[in-house]
Structure formats: structure tokens, C-alpha cells
Structure 1
Amino acid sequence: MTTDLTLTTADVRRTLSPRVAYALVAGVIGLALFASATPSPLYGAYRELWDLSPVVLTLVYATYAFGVLATLTLAGRVSDQVGRRPVLLVALGALMAATVVFMLADSVGWLFVARAVQGLATGLALAAASAALIDLHPRRDPTGVGLTNGVVSAGGMGLGVLVSAAFIELLPAPRVLPYVALLVLFAVAFSGALLMPEPVVCRSRLRLIPQRPGVPPAARSAFLVAALGVTSSWSIGGLLLSLGPQLADGLFHTTDPLVGGVSVFALAGSAAMAQLVFSRTQPWAGAVAGSVALATGMALIVMAVSSDSSVLYLAGAVVGGAGFGVAFLGALRALSAAIPAEHRGAVMSAFYIVAYAALSLPAILAGVLVTPLGLRPTFEIFGSVIGALALVVAFLAWRTRPGVQPQGYNLRVSDMATWDDVRRIALALPETTEQPSREEVPRWRVKDKLFAWERPLRRADVEALGDAAPDGAILATRVADLGAKEALLADDPDVYFTTPHFNGYPAVLVRLNRIAEAELEELLVEAWLARAPKRLANEYLDASGS
């Protein structure tokens, strides 16, 4: 059962302006990743203090990573249900609690506790804040949202290591003061979240059930590009966060934690700068170019390890970091443009599941193998694997460029959708009726709102399309917004098209003889959700477990 939210005196409160709220949620993303990297320079101190092996330290990190993945899987779409603000408040409160545990830790057991809580809270924060970025952007501009998310993510990760290393080097109480600073920052963010406006207008009851990450059809091709880009980019980040400080100690012949922090910041800083410089690159092109740069950077780092060259190591970190930034930016821009509003939390959760798998799995495996193999052989092996993976990602991303259809695209006649399929799927949706037009053209409505209809081409349409005008049955469906429309048109132009008549209108035209039945069903469900009353849409989503 869902609940309608009506304004009460408790709801009439002073809130931040949308621009300030946008900056706040961007800061939450950066701060969450800043906090996740803060313990990294301290692992050396923990190792000496409690006589910890590299495997134990790797398990501490794995606890954090699996906490993030567990939250994203179990509660990824919770902010779509109950709202962004309450989820951010819970996440920030839990992050403050984890920070206090870090400050008071007197054994490795407390490190596991702190990392577990931090991981669970970070998953909540990233999913809700990333969705809120799209909600709160003044123009709903996917380029701006992707750039903001990419820069604060890379900047937060790099600054977390650098600032923590600087505290250890320059200030007393190195196992406490970095976390004191974090606690203050989280308290400021929590105070801001109390005042932020709630962008989710209609909310439903909380449902915490394990869910398979789902991506609606309008966003699937964009999600593929995003997953490829984030896989290649975050894998190098995970490897350097795990082994980079130890490797820097050997290459620079020093145990100064600030040196290791600077080398990691070289990666993250160049990532942020590259995103600002290449902010207008096409998403698929960013994934390709960024992955090639990543492979080049990893090759330089592997050469640096083999030749004991600190110069090559820094050059590899800068080049690889630039690739990290461009690939990650391309991933976020591709995705931000295509997510329907009611799926933002769920899709961003699926995105961060891929991201954290790429960030954590190489780091965990490398941490386990470093003891039997040694630091440099482990880095050479994993660096080579990640470089090769980046080249594979570049090739796959190249194949997703506009105008290229996947192998096996052509449908068999038995796979093609028909008007009977449209009618059956549409009428199975709640409160849907079929109401032919005056020309006896079938139309399907939910609560008297049109969401799908037959749309034969008119003379003006044929003249505008020219030789590209299709001669088969044409279905028109509503979409969530113009971003979803543009994503469909760009991703599958053999199925979806438009005419000048529909310019600026959130609807697409579909070649019915080119679309598979399964894709048609998902398209009609999305069209129905875009037009159904919020209460009815939420009841449907709750009942279907979406």
C-alpha cells in the first residue's frame, strides 16, 4: 500500500535552494569517497601497531567493499520509494558513527566493524545522492550531472588519500585527527541534508528485499557503455589504492606516507582535470579514448615496476588517471541522459554495483596474492591484466557507437511484435482501456491519459523522412522525458525514430516489425508508468517487486 503525501505544517519548513541542494548532494558523493580512501595511508601504522599481515588488511578493505555491494543490492532503490532526503540522513548518520569507531579503534576487530558500517552507509549515500543530482540539476542536463559526479568522485578519492597522508606526516595523533576532520565534515553535510528539499514527490512504503539489478529498456544501451567505462576506470583505482602506497615506498625509496598519497592523488587529480577538459566528448568516445589511455597508463606503470623508475610511475599515474577520468565521465553522461525518473535510484545502484566490483575485486585478489608472490610480481600481473581489460573495453565500447547494431540483431519473423501483442500487453496493465480514435486507430489510455497508439505516417512525415520513411506498422509511445527519448533514438535507430511533428514532445515512434516482443513489453510498461497517476504507478511497482 502506498501513502499520499500532503502538505502539513511539519512539511512547511525552510529548505535550501535547488542550486545549494545540488552542491550539497555533490559534496556528499565526494565526501563518501573521501572517507572511503582515508584509512588507506593508515594501513602501515595499523600493520605495525597490531602486527597485521597483508591478507588481514585486504580483508578489512573487502569488508568495506562487500558492505557497499550488499547495500546497493538490498536497498538500491530505497530512495525511489521513501525519498532522497531520509536516505541521505540515515547514510550520513551511519558514516558519522563509523568515523567514531575508527577514532576509538584499539584492535583490528574494530577496524572490521568500522569498515563494515562505512561500506553499508556509503552504498546508501552514493545511490541516493547520485539520483538526487539528476533530480536537482536546474536544467536536468545529463552532461552537467555526469561532469559533476565524475569530478567529485575522482577528487574525493584522491583527496582522501592525500589529506590523510598529510595529517599523518604533519600532525600529531595520526590515527585520530583524520577521522576528527571527517566527523566535522559529515556533521556539516548532515545539517545541510536536514534542510534540503525532497525531490521525490510521491513516495511509497519501504521494502527491503534482495533484488536483481534492473535497468529499463530506455537506458540499457547507455548502461552498457557506462558499465564498460566504469569497469576499466575503477579497476586501476582499486589496484593503486590497494598496492600503490607500498609500491611508491619501493620506487621512491622512502616510507613517507605523503609520497604514496601524492602518487595516488596524481591519478585522481589528473582524472578530475581530464573530465573538465573533455566534458563534451561523446559518451561512447569517452569510454573508448579513456580506456586506451588507461591501458597506456598501466603499461607505463608496469614498465616502471620492472625498471624501478619513479618517473615512469608518475607518468603512468597521470596518463592512466586522465583515462580514468574520461572513461568514467563518458559512463556517467551516457547513463544520466537515459534514466527514467522513477528508476533513478535503482539504475544508479546497479551502476555502482559494477563500479565497486571493479574497484574491489582486483584490489582484494592482489592483496591476497602479494604475500606468496611479492609486491612487484603481483603488480606486474594485475597491471597487465587490467591494461588488457581496458583494451577489450575500448573495443566493446567502440561497437556501441551510434549506427552500429549488435551481431544477430535481425529478428526472425516469429520474434516480431504484432498489434495483438501490443493490445495484450497494454490491457494487462492496471486501469488501462482501449479507446479507438475517430479514424478507428487503436489507442491505449491509463486513467484517460494516452500512453500508446497506432500512428500511421502522414504526408508531411513521409516528406520529412524521405527514403528513411518506413512502410510497416508504426506504434507511438510516451516516454518519461526528452532525455529518455534521445537515448532510444541514439541507441537503436533501426527500431525507434521520430518526425518533426514530435519535436520537443516526449514520445517515440516504433517500427513494430523491428522490435522483439520482450522489448515491446518493457517499452509499454515504461510508457504506462510515465502516464499513470503516481499512486497507481507505485502500487504497480510494489506489486511487481520492481
Structure 2
Amino acid sequence: MSRPARPWFPAALSLTMVGWGANQFVSLLVYYRQHHGFSEVLVTSMLGIYVAGLVPALLLGGRYSDRTGRKRVTIFAVSLSMAASVAMMGAVFGAAPLFVGRLMAGTATGLTMAAATSWVKELSQAPWDLKSVPGSGARRASLLTAAGFWLGPVAGGLLAAWAPAPEVLPYAVHILLCVPLLVILARLPETLTRQHSQASRSAGEPHHGEGRRRFRLVVAPAAPWVFAAGTTGFAVIPAVVPGLGDGRLAYATAAVAITLGCSVLIQPLARRVDTVRNARSLLTGTGVVLIGLCLVLLAILLASPALGLVASATLGSGSGLLMVGGLLEIQRAAEPHELGALTGYFYTLAYAGFLAPTIVAFLAQWIGGAWILAGMVLLCAASLGMVAINSRKHLPHALERVDPSAASTKPHTRA
């Protein structure tokens, strides 16, 4: 049986389908509240248990894939995502199946983001892809992850609103789409064999820990702003910008569309900004986020909803730049035997940024919105400073290990 011509695509599609399965639940929250009488506390708990599965899977799944291979972990994660959809079909019997399903969905998402992101990177280089350019793996994984996070709520919401059996059909569609994907994934090559991993460990011994040092000093300070920027763009801005009145709901919808749209559209540029000589991609992304936060502060002080939407676009762009830039830094610096682990750590820190709206809402009980945003500006400036100070430290010692053309200064024309 022949293998797919572009093996990276089915591997990246696993990120889309698992993200779809995890986020379709969000668009069904209103239905569960209305038709089952679930309280706000109960629904919030369902969102929280997702994180309880996500974070351990991110931290452990990548490390496990470094030892056993990407393929096995990814196939298991897609299967677990399907099982989560089966469980959540049981909402007709009460809330318990939803809790079980959400826990499994979080675990599946963490495993996929850690293992499949690494798999896509490795399948986007020789000998599996001879035409891709440096950075293609990071951009491909990031784009298809974002696609899943967007398609899940949209598809789930449309099916729940217009199709029969709203408690079952959205999950059934997800399961049916995953079945052929599993068949294709089983035909893909494993990129990290035990011999390859052992050879990489031996080769990496003279410079042991360089990738992790660069991660701590350069990637980690910027990582929380990946999602902190996005959530500020579509959740915080509609809550803190004055003068919206009855139009706040429509404004919030526009902020979501602008933030997420800019985050996706900007990602091809991130690879072009990136360079192997310093952390320019992360510096650019963090700088754009800093500008966006300053614009939010101005929008509050000037009571300007229009400026708030400009800030949403800026923050979304910064989020997209940081997502791709962080993955590029990790995939360039990490040895194969630690790529999955560092990818998991990166996503864990990035997801910490989702707490930004909650922290803002909590502090708003005692502190004005302008002062809170001023504090965020200072924190972001500190992150930017730390990345800048360490930008040229602990650079990869063997860039040709990743791609001999990685140091080219010519602009790339292929994606």
C-alpha cells in the first residue's frame, strides 16, 4: 500500500480534527444551558476539567513521543478524541458523560499538540519532504491547529442550530471524519526510531542542554503572550472599552473575528521574519503584542471602540507571530530526543495566557481597567526585554542538522 505523497499533511490534519473535537463543545454550551438547565458553575466546571486533561498530556505526551515515536502517540490521541465525542453524545443521560468526554478531549488535545506538532516538523524535511523550505513544519502545524480550533465551534454551532439531533449529530460528524484519517495515519512513516533517538542523544552530548537553556531564556518569556494576546483581543477589550452600550455583544463578535482572523493571516509572515542568528521572530511578535496593549490602554483612556478593534487586530497579529516564532525556535534548537518535550512545555506556557481575562476580571473588582492594562504593558515590556537580552545566547551549534539552507538570507517564495 502506497504512502501519501505529502505525509506531513495527514499528520497536520490530526491537529485540525482533534482541535475540532475539543472546541465544538463551546458552541453547544447555550444549548445545554437552555435544554438541560445546566448552571453556570456546572458549565464552567466542564471547561475546567478540560484543562485538567490538557496540561498533564502536554507535559508528558511530548516526552513520551520522544522515547516511543510520534506516530503511536498521535494515532492514540485521535482515537481518544473520537472516544471523547462518543462520551459527549451521552449528554442525553445527564452531565456526567460530558465531564468524562471533556477530560478525554483535553488529554487528546495535549497529546496531539505535543506529538503531532513534532511529527509535522520532521515530516516537513528530508527525506520525507524534499521541497519544503526551513520553517515550513512550524507554520503548517500552527495553521492547521488554528483551523481546527476555528472549525470546531463553527461546525458545531451550525449543526446544533439547523440540523436534527443537536446533542448527537455534531459529535457524530467529528467521529466520521476521524475514521478515514486514522486509516491514513497508519500508513505514514515513523520519523523517530529508537536508533535515531539514541544516535541523536549521543550526538547532542557535547552540547547537552543548549536547547533547553535557550528555551528557558528566550522562548519561555514570550510563550504566555501567545494566548494572553489573543484572549485580551477578543475577551478583555469588549469588557473594558467604555461607550459600547447595547452594542457590546456585536462588538465582542467583531473582536473575536478580527483577533482570530489576523492571528491566522499573519502566520506566513512569521517564517519570513525569522532568522537563525537571533530571536527576531519572537522579538517581533512580543513587540507587536506590546503595541497592541498600548492601543488597548489608549482605547480605554479615549473611550474609543474603533481604536479597540485596531488593538484587537494588533494583538491577534502578535499572537500568530509568537505561535509560529516559538515553534520555529524550538524546532531549530531542540535535539530530536527532546523536541516533543519542549513543544509540550511551550504549549503549556502558551495556554497559561488563557488566564488573562480571568485575572483581569478578578483585579477589576478593585482596580480600574486602565491601571490593569498599564500593568500588562509593563509585564510585556519586561518579557520583551528578557528575550532581547538573551536573543543571541545558546544558539544551535549545528544549524545544518536542521537544514543546510537555514542560514540563507534570501527571502523564500514557497510555503
Alignment match of 1:220 (pick from 207, 212, 215): 212
Please tell me whether residue 329 in structure 1 is matched to residue 324 in structure 2: yes
Contact 2:222 / 2:286 at 8 angstroms: preserved in 1? yes
Q: Percent identity?
A: 23
Please tell me whether residue 192 in structure 1 is matched to residue 184 in structure 2: yes
In the TM superposition, what is the alpha-carbon distance from 1:67 to its structure 2 partner? Answer: 0.9
Counterpart mapping for 1:110-259 below 5 A: 110-139=97-126, 142-168=134-160, 170-171=162-163, 173-202=165-194, 216-224=208-216, 225-238=218-231, 251=244, 253=246
Match of 2:344 in 1: 349
> What is the TM-score of this pair, normalised by structure 1?
0.60
Gaps of 5+ in 1: 1-13, 205-214, 406-477, 490-546
Letter in 2 for 1:44: V
In structure 2, the CA distance between the partners of 1:244 and 1:312, relative to structure 1 (3 Å rule), is closer
Counterpart mapping for 1:338-377 below 5 A: 338-359=333-354, 361-362=355-356, 365=359, 369=362, 373=365
Counterpart-to-counterpart distance in 1, 2:173 and 2:100? 20
What SS does the aligned partner of 1:77 have? Answer: helix
Alignment match of 2:284 (pick from 268, 276, 289): 289
Letter in 1 for 2:222: G
Counterpart-to-counterpart distance in 1, 2:245 and 2:16? 29
Please tell me whether residue 394 in structure 1 is matched to residue 384 in structure 2: yes
In the TM superposition, what is the alpha-carbon distance from 1:162 to its structure 2 partner? Answer: 3.9
Question: Which structure has more strand as a fraction of its residues?
Answer: 1
> What is the TM-score of this pair, normalised by structure 2?
0.77
Contact 1:80 / 1:343 at 8 angstroms: preserved in 2? yes
Match of 1:482 in 2: 401
Alignment length (residue pairs): 384
In the TM superposition, what is the alpha-carbon distance from 1:89 to its structure 2 partner? Answer: 1.5
Match of 2:200 in 1: none
Contact 1:29 / 1:126 at 8 angstroms: preserved in 2? yes
Contact 2:58 / 2:111 at 8 angstroms: preserved in 1? yes
Q: Deviations over 1:15-62 (max 9, x none)?
A: 524x52201111222333333332223333333444455444333222
Letter in 2 for 1:394: L
Letter in 2 for 1:288: L
What SS does the aligned partner of 1:38 have? Answer: helix
Letter in 2 for 1:185: L
Question: Which structure has more helix as a fraction of its residues?
Answer: 2
In structure 2, the CA distance between the partners of 1:310 and 1:129, relative to structure 1 (3 Å rule), is same
What SS does the aligned partner of 1:401 have? Answer: coil
In structure 2, the CA distance between the partners of 1:50 and 1:303, relative to structure 1 (3 Å rule), is farther
Bigger RCO of structures 1 and 2 (CA < 8 A, at least 6 apart): 2
Letter in 2 for 1:82: T
Match of 1:466 in 2: none
Return the index of the structure with the highest Cα Rg: 1
What SS does the aligned partner of 2:334 have? Answer: coil
What SS does the aligned partner of 2:402 have? Answer: helix
Match of 1:472 in 2: none
Gaps of 5+ in 2: 197-206, 408-415
In the TM superposition, what is the alpha-carbon distance from 1:280 to its structure 2 partner? Answer: 1.5
Counterpart mapping for 1:7-46 below 5 A: 14-17=1-4, 19-46=5-32
Match of 2:411 in 1: none
In the TM superposition, what is the alpha-carbon distance from 1:191 to its structure 2 partner? Answer: 2.2
Counterpart-to-counterpart distance in 2, 1:335 and 1:245? 34
